[in-house]
Amino acid sequence: MALLQISEPGQSPEPHQRKYAVGIDLGTTNSLVATVRDGSAEAIAVEGDSVILSSAVHYGKDTVTVGAEARARAVQDPYNTILSIKRLMGRGVDDIRRFGDQLPYHFAGSDGGMPAIETAAGPVNPVQVSAEILKTLARRGREALCGGEGGGLDGAVITVPAYFDDAQRQATKDAAKLAGLKVLRLLNEPTAAAVAYGLDQGEEGVIAVYDLGGGTFDISILRLSRGVFEVLSTGGDTALGGDDFDRCIATWLAAQAGLGADLDAATQRRLLGCACHAKESLTSNEQVALRYGDWQGVLDQVTLAELLDPLIDKTLRACKRALRDANIGVDAVQEVVLVGGSTRTLRVRERVAQYFDRPPHAALDPDQVVAIGAALQADVLVGNKSSEALLLLDVIPLSLGIETMGGLTEKLITRNTTIPVSKAQEFTTFKDGQTAMAIHVVQGEREWVSHCRSLARFELRGIPPMVAGAAHIRVTFQVDADGLLSVTAVEKSSGVSADITVKPSYGLEDKVIARMLQESYTHAAEDIALRALREAQVEAERTLESLLAALRENGAQLLEERELNQLERAMEALRLAHNGADATEIRRRMETLNTLSEPFAARRMDASIKRAMQGHRLDEFDQ
């Protein structure tokens, strides 16, 4: 008899057939692809001997160019050369209108709400541009792994900033799909950096990932517990990076050379080039000789530290805020990882070591560390290693909830909750006989829906007509490992349901998230008071509406004129309180009205029972 074949755990059905997987760091300025070969992860050369691919795409009438050649055309052909497309991922047309004048492109709307950039090849959107970069990286990965035999990749792990919201993550997955890549998962960049240093194999504890690139700074606080990575908090500054270091040094050079403040663009570019050269030279030298025009001088490490310290202070303040968000002190941090080319600056390393009171991990190339971590994770997920080797958990950047009566936000999943996660809560109807419910999904920390971000709307129909508050509608929020949200609503007695996968056409960048969080802190006391007031107003509206309906039905039959007048006066008092701004007064008036209406409610109940019993004997109800 034939034997049933069972493959080795964690391996493909063909014994020890290795699968091909890559890790991709899809960056704003530069991108990389890495893989695991012979047990170790390494970046793959993409342009000549360089492992770095410029995240630039040039569109000609019949050609598309990616990389350094495309970037070189930015000055001569800015409208057809797309740079820093990552900043536009997950954005909508309305978002682009607010800052589009800062970009050298012609924008147009599209059917999906995604902005389109007019080029010589026709309109292209951010997903299509990112797909071109991913195609180039995937092709080099296939060539390096499959030897040009035409084989394909079995999967890729693509990294994203920890602050990327669901729209930006979905846009990244869409770009990968367009590029023909199978996404094993999206991985937060700081988590990938920690994996690259093998911290997942170390002792349990807290890890800080300090990521200082050319234009942005990010700080992430991770916790490793029982082999599980969890992102505790994130923070940073989107307007701070190595470019600011260059500008600071260039300003010093201009002053030393006696140049005025009003410099033309060509002079500014030359000064920035000289400043960048000086900064890079000082990563391995105590001082560097400089010359500009007739001026010549020396820039040393001490002077450089004086110039850069105010900027580095900003990054450390962001670190302090991130630790506060994580509810831990700096002494709880056991490991510090440096990411981003600007962390090569010696003064940065010194200040980071001083702040965290420990030397940071800096042995790996800071430009490659994220891609290497992604490659290690891809090797696990594709099946070349046991899937139990590493489990990574991330968090959502902002709370998720729905709109309730009165325009209030009810949070189902709070900010910094570990994903994947699924949470449910029961809601009910507001009016008698209500057969449908509009569900508005929002994101943010404020109590008012108008202060949060709208994600999606859908309707649950077919609810059996009942009195207000009798229906039980269970709303479930589920966020998967990639940070994508699905929402389901089910009416429990009938089983009718509706659901939606939240795939909005626009996203939030980290500075907007930071602003929303800051506003939630600033307005916390005000929001709590306003929520209490609005909840009292909604309850008063429901009380007045239900009592008015009852009075219309049989108030004249069941109440004396004196009782009816008392109720009407109490209702009017509640209406006046409802229009005020004192939640305590509203609730006091409601208690008074409820007390006065209790006899009326009892009589209505008795009358209802009598109607039900008419034509029946009492012993029929005992059977």
Run of H or E residues at 432: none
Q: Which of 504, 511, 455, 503 is nearest to 99 (CA)?
A: 511
Run of H or E residues at 21: strand 21-25
Q: Look at residue 161 and give its three-state secondary structure.
A: coil
Catalytic residue among 95, 189, 510, 527: 189
The answer to whether 253 and 303 are in contact (CB under 8 A) is no
Is 189 a residue of the active site?
yes
Q: How many CB atoms lie within 10 A of CB 619?
A: 7
Q: Look at residue 37 and give its three-state secondary structure.
A: strand
Is 182 a residue of the active site?
no
Catalytic residue among 211, 379, 447, 482: 211
Output the DSSP codes for 506-570: ----HHHHHHHHHHHHHTHHHHHHHHHHHHHHHHHHHHHHHHHHHHHHHHHHHS-HHHHHHHHHH
Q: Which of 192, 189, 66 is nearest to 132 (CA)?
A: 66
The answer to whether 379 and 21 are in contact (CB under 8 A) is yes
Is 211 a residue of the active site?
yes
Tokens of 357: 């009171």
Catalytic residue among 86, 173, 279, 411: 86
User: Which H, E and C letters describe 64-96, residue by residue?
Assistant: EEECHHHHHCCCCCHHHEEECHHHHCCCCHHHH
Q: Which runs of E-coded beta strand occur in 102-216?
A: 107-108, 116-117, 155-160, 183-188, 205-212
Please report the sign of the dihedral spanned by the C-alpha atoms of residue 181, residue 185, residue 186, residue 188: negative
The answer to whether 137 and 33 are in contact (CB under 8 A) is yes
Q: Look at residue 52 and give its three-state secondary structure.
A: coil
Tokens of 623: 């059977």
Q: 65 has which bridge partners?
A: 58
Q: Which of 110, 80, 105 is nearest to 93 (CA)?
A: 110
* Residues annotated as catalytic (active site), given as ranges: 25, 86, 189, 211
